[in-house]
Structure 1
Amino acid sequence: MVPPSLLSERRGAAMSLTAAASGLVVFLLSVSVVQGQRGWGVSYTSTEICAVKGSTVEINCSFTYPSTLRGRVNTLEKTFWFTKKKDGEFVDLTTDSKYAGRVEDLCGNNICTLRIRNLTESDSDQYRFRIITNQDAYWGNPGTTLSVTDLQVEVSRSGSSTLLQCLSRCSPGQTSYIWFKNRQEVKEGTSSYADFRYESADSYSCALKGYEDFPSPSVYAPKLPSVSVSPSAEIEEGSSVTLTCSSDANPAANYTWYKEDEDSPRASGQIFNITDFRAEHSGSYSCGAQNKLGRSYSTFHLSVGTGSSTMMVNIIRTTLGVLMLVPVFLLSLWTRKKKALRSTTEAHEPEEIELDSIPEYENDSHTAAQREDTEEQEDMV
């Protein structure tokens, strides 16, 4: 049996050994971390950047690496930015087809800048910097997270006030917002909301601080609508008419159709069809375009008349009728000319006289003349 004192000593020795072992483990881990970090480092200027679609962004960092490693000279061979791996290797962004012609890696004095032009929303990612020497390699965490956003302004109304919100993928407080009224800067702040007293002639847009040249599309009330009528504004009775209304507006306009002296709308939507058009459909109509920022109207007149299609049919019918009469007219002329020619020919032909029709006294005279001639010839003999 082990005396209690010895047991206590053994326990104390065991605890000391355990503590020593634990301390050694911690020390070794610390040494490992220190060895892994000693002389190596990447410092990013920003860990989060929010940029606007179509713009150019610059991601910056500075780096260090040990001049000697494992008793040998440690020489820098390559540095590059990456977002992903391919076949187990980090992909240099300057060789990635996705960024072809849009990316530059600018380095000098251990300071590097990644410049990306013509940003797209698919460029949103985490960008890291990698160092490669003749002995080892290192890349810095956590990198810089880039969010590329396409700005939009959302509109809501409260009485005479208009509440606008600049929608983006930026985290709250990540950037400052700038507001423009009729293209003139009127407000700046970290809030994405703005409260304005709106008038129909006003337009508003927003931008991110540092990206003022890439504002959101402006929001504004509908402009004066234009109306097209098919087939024409003067309609043949019984035909169908299609009316189309369009207005430049942001947010997009909603459309309502009205007829004069009627309180209720005739229809809603951008296209209004009237089938079997009658005289009672004639009159003045209005197209109303409205959104949360205002409304605008255009008025026009429809009436029953000879539509263009009917007019064309009548023209064709008349033309065909004329063409059908031409042969009849020519035949009539030819017949008349033939009759006239026959009459002229008969007038110039000599008359045939029958001997039987000669009067008797004419025969007697002819006989007497012949007798006298005979007598003269006999006397001469």
Structure 2
Amino acid sequence: MSPSAGGLVVFLLSVQVIQSQDGWRVNYLKTDVCALKGSTVYISCDITHPPGIDPSDIKDRFWFTKEKDGEPVDLGTDSEYSGRVTYVCYSDSCYLTITDVRESDSAEYKLTFMTNKPGEKYTGSPGVTLSVTDSGLQVQVRRSDSTWLELTCHSSCVLSDHPEYDWFKNEENIKTGSSLLVSSGSTDRYSCDLRGSWDNGSPAVYGPQRPSVSVSPSAVMLEGDSVTLTCSTDANPAANYTWYKEHEDSPRASGQNFTITDFTAEHSGNYYCEAQNEMGRSNSTLLRIPSSGKGGCTWSTTKDIVIFVLLLIIIIVLAVPYIKRRMFPERPEQRPENGTQIPLTNAGHQEE
């Protein structure tokens, strides 16, 4: 690759030039690189030589992060990078590729080289600082129009190349690209992953599932009581909640919990909550809040109880004789036809 080709790298943020006293210099095309754990990193530089020096005079070029006994250690021989490092060097440029980067790879990377001239050795310093993060990817949701949503993969780490992403719907790979269009209101789960990386899948985004609602306390409400309605659902991003009373267009409250501190008969009725996030919205079933009237123990309530008890006692007193007669009927007395009473004990022993 020629120097002009290297200058086409669009992620170039700054150029670090290392100038030696005799005209050698190293131009790092980017001095700060941020990468996601598990991704692939590319670091590159150009070498400028003094006039009259042929590039073929450069030899033994390699990248390093560590030194041993004052001498740089070739990254290709470091066991921590075994199988993950590749060099591609031309006459006046050099490229380093690190695959499956780890947090331990965060370091300063430098290029060093020697020339055909005995004892002539140069190191491009300061080098390129690599920062590896495991913060992972996030799916950002943007409304394209009333029907479609645009999903894009985002990371707080500015990647050093033009990454491609694999998109998943309900964990099934459906597309490769920088973004994804989905229909608004879908409850399917969408996630993205950096292509070629297995450790950077984003959390899935999806619209609210049907919310569940509950009321506390669960008993019939009395006037003056305090009652709390609670709504919950599974959604990512987290859902916002709005409370409605049936047949009313204006919301009664917002938030996951809706508390009525001084309950009256007017508060009774059917309520539902609406859960909404960037992906869509969903309504709960109706929650009925009944009312039994006034609460507390008043004089009117006490008087009614006393009257009820007295009536119950009177009914019992009147009913007892009737019940007794029904359960224990009296035996009737026997009388002769002429009206003379004959003792029962002598009825069967009269003289002829």
TM, length-normalised to structure 2: 0.52
Residue 65 (structure 2) pairs with residue 81 (structure 1)? yes
Residue 252 (structure 2) pairs with residue 243 (structure 1)? no
What's the counterpart of residue 175 of structure 1?
A: 163
Whole-angstrom distance in 2 between the partners of 1:280 and 1:273: 15
**Change in CA separation of 1:107 and 1:257 when aligned onto 2, cut-off 3 Å:** closer
Question: How far 1:256 moved relative to its partner?
Answer: 0.6
TM, length-normalised to structure 1: 0.49
Which is richer in helix? 1
Q: CA RMSD in A?
A: 4.8
**Change in CA separation of 1:252 and 1:288 when aligned onto 2, cut-off 3 Å:** same
**Change in CA separation of 1:268 and 1:52 when aligned onto 2, cut-off 3 Å:** same
Question: How far 1:82 moved relative to its partner?
Answer: 5.4
Whole-angstrom distance in 1 between the partners of 2:169 and 2:85: 44
Secondary structure of the corresponding residue to residue 65 of structure 2:
strand
What's the counterpart of residue 291 of structure 2?
A: 304
Whole-angstrom distance in 1 between the partners of 2:82 and 2:42: 10
Equivalence map 1:326-337=2 (5 Å): none
What's the counterpart of residue 104 of structure 1?
A: 80
Q: Any conservation in 1 of the 2:136–2:201 contact (CA below 8 Å)? A: no
**Change in CA separation of 1:56 and 1:153 when aligned onto 2, cut-off 3 Å:** closer
Larger Rg: 1
Secondary structure of the corresponding residue to residue 32 of structure 1:
coil
Q: Any conservation in 1 of the 2:35–2:159 contact (CA below 8 Å)? A: no
Q: Any conservation in 2 of the 1:163–1:194 contact (CA below 8 Å)? A: yes
Q: Any conservation in 2 of the 1:81–1:130 contact (CA below 8 Å)? A: no
Match of 2:267 among 275, 281, 297: 281
Whole-angstrom distance in 1 between the partners of 2:248 and 2:85: 78
**Change in CA separation of 1:296 and 1:137 when aligned onto 2, cut-off 3 Å:** same
Whole-angstrom distance in 2 between the partners of 1:90 and 1:255: 63
Equivalence map 1:305-320=2 (5 Å): none
Q: How many pairs align? A: 237
Question: How far 1:287 moved relative to its partner?
Answer: 0.9
Match of 1:128 among 85, 107, 110: 110
Q: Any conservation in 2 of the 1:177–1:207 contact (CA below 8 Å)? A: yes
Q: Any conservation in 2 of the 1:289–1:295 contact (CA below 8 Å)? A: yes
Equivalence map 1:291-370=2 (5 Å): 291-298=277-284, 299-304=286-291
Match of 1:152 among 111, 114, 138: 138
Query: Structure 2: which 5+ runs fail to align?
Result: 1-18, 45-59, 74-78, 88-95, 114-118, 298-352
Whole-angstrom distance in 1 between the partners of 2:202 and 2:85: 38
Whole-angstrom distance in 2 between the partners of 1:248 and 1:108: 40
Q: Share of identical aligned residues, percent?
A: 44
**Change in CA separation of 1:82 and 1:209 when aligned onto 2, cut-off 3 Å:** farther
Whole-angstrom distance in 2 between the partners of 1:183 and 1:150: 17
Question: How far 1:304 moved relative to its partner?
Answer: 2.9
Q: Which has the higher contact order (CA 8 A, sep 6+)?
A: 2
Question: How far 1:223 moved relative to its partner?
Answer: 1.1
What's the counterpart of residue 32 of structure 1?
A: 22
Whole-angstrom distance in 2 between the partners of 1:172 and 1:114: 12
Q: Residues 224-263 of structure 1: CA distance to partner in whole angstroms, max 9, x if unpaired? A: 2122323335334311112222221112211110111222
